[in-house]
């Protein structure tokens, strides 16, 4: 019985890691974080510094914290885990490469795109050398790099990477595996940026339709961003009524799954506000965008591209004054 094992017993720590992963994949992030924090404190009291089980728990904590929206804390934890693993295991160990991959992901989400790209490129090179080009972890890093390249506007380099990752994941894992959903969303976003908006919209809608049929909150969390992307695409295509319907369905689900203070929920609120502005409801739209800004600015900082965009949109909406028409 694991519960009867002495505090700090590695088997007890391992079981917590497994249980926290299960909670994480069900979308139960608060419970997962609490379990990891409890066992991590125990491990740090009873195991020697640098013990692998402690490092694995700390890495999982960073992933959970990132999912819950505390990006700066996630980056700091990932950086400490990476430094620890390089020192203990060397730069080419699989655990070190996993830490590099996770740090690159968190950096990209925080908006540190140059660092994210450099880290993704280094991780991909090392994983290709150590694991081979067709290894699942190598494919995941290829997907990471494609996402960062899209953010940086390097679409010609990103597209073949994104397409190859979708093809690999769907063929090996199926279209509804979390890795496949992420890859398909990234490809749709790239297609949208390239002007292939019909193809992008079709792909977004297919993902949402497939996941809607499942009773799986973990997957539903993952496709909240897909719904947001669809709403913004419809808005860009001059269909604000259709976009508003997407956001009005998205926001209650986002609040249920993430909570009202999660940065991703705040992003969706801000985009809904922009949609309302485009519908001619300038005052209401500005209020929604201001609420989004108040939530996001402490997390991302005022130099983040998303914050600058949001400030500009608020100024545009408020420039109309008290009226409600464009």
**CA gap 286, 277 in Å, rounded:** 7
Which region, left, alpha or beta, applies to residue 259 given φ > 0 means left and ψ of -120 to 50 means alpha?
A: left
Q: Which residue has the tokens 């193809």?
A: 199
pLDDT tens string 128-151: 999 999 999 999 999 999 999 999
Per-residue model confidence (pLDDT) at position 320: 73
| More confidently predicted of 110 and 301 | 110
Is the domain covering 223-326 a CATH 3.40.50.2000 domain?
Answer: no
Q: Give CATH 1.25.40.10 domain extents, the chain.
A: 223-326
pLDDT tens string 260-269: 888 899 999 9
Q: What is the mean pLDDT of residues 203-215?
A: 96
Q: For residue 126, is pLDDT > 90?
A: yes
Per-residue model confidence (pLDDT) at position 90: 95
Percent of the chain residues past pLDDT 90, beyond the cut: 70
Average pLDDT, the chain: 91
Contact 30, 5 (CB under 8 A): no
Q: For residue 157, is pLDDT > 50?
A: yes
Q: Other C-beta atoms within 10 Å of 301: how many?
A: 12
**CA gap 54, 46 in Å, rounded:** 10
| More confidently predicted of 259 and 3 | 259
Q: For residue 322, is pLDDT > 80?
A: no
**CA gap 53, 39 in Å, rounded:** 10
Q: For residue 6, is pLDDT > 50?
A: yes
* Residue 245 CB contacts under 8 Å (≥ 6 apart), including other chains: none
- Alpha-carbon torsion 239, 242, 248, 249, what sign? negative
Q: What is the mean pLDDT of residues 228-245?
A: 97
Classify residue 198 by its DSSP letter.
H
**Residue 276 in tokens:** 């309302």
pLDDT tens string 30-77: 888 998 998 888 888 877 766 777 888 899 999 998 887 788 999 999
Contact 117, 149 (CB under 8 A): yes
Q: What is the mean pLDDT of residues 182-205?
A: 97
CA distances from 143 to 10, 50, 175, 211, 280 (A): 33, 30, 15, 21, 38
């Amino acid at each position: 019985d694991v519960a009867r094992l002495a505090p700090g017993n590695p088997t007890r720590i391992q079981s917590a890691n497994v249980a926290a992963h299960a909670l994480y994949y069900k979308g139960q992030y608060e419970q997962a974080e609490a379990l990891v924090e409890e066992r991590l404190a125990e491990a740090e009291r009873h195991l020697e510094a640098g013990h692998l089980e402690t490092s694995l728990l700390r890495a999982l904590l960073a992933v959970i914290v990132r999912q819950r929206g505390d990006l700066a804390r996630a980056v700091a934890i990932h950086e400490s885990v990476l430094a620890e693993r390089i020192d203990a295991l060397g730069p080419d160990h699989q655990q070190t490469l996993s830490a590099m991959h996770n740090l690159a992901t968190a950096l990209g989400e925080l908006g540190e795109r140059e660092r994210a790209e450099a880290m993704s490129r280094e991780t991909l090179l090392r994983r290709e050398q150590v694991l081979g080009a067709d290894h699942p972890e190598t494919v995941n890093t290829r997907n990471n790099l494609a996402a960062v390249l899209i953010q940086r506007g390097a679409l010609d380099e990103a597209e073949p990477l994104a397409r190859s990752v979708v093809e690999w994941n769907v063929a090996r894992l199926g279209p509804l595996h979390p890795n496949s959903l992420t890859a398909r969303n990234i490809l749709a976003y790239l297609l949208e940026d390239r002007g292939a908006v019909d193809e992008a919209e079709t792909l977004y809608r297919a993902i949402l339709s497939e996941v809607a049929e499942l009773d799986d909150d973990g997957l539903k969390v993952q496709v909240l961003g897909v719904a947001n992307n669809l709403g913004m695409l419809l808005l860009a295509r001059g269909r604000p009524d259709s976009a508003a319907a997407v956001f009005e369905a998205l926001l209650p689900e986002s609040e249920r799954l993430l909570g009202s203070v999660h940065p991703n929920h705040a992003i969706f609120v801000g985009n809904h506000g922009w949609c309302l502005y485009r519908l001619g409801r300038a005052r209401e739209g500005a209020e929604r965008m201001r609420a989004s800004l108040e939530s996001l600015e402490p997390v991302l900082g005022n130099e983040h591209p998303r914050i600058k965009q949001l400030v500009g949109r608020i100024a545009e909406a408020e420039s109309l004054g008290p009226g409600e028409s464009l």
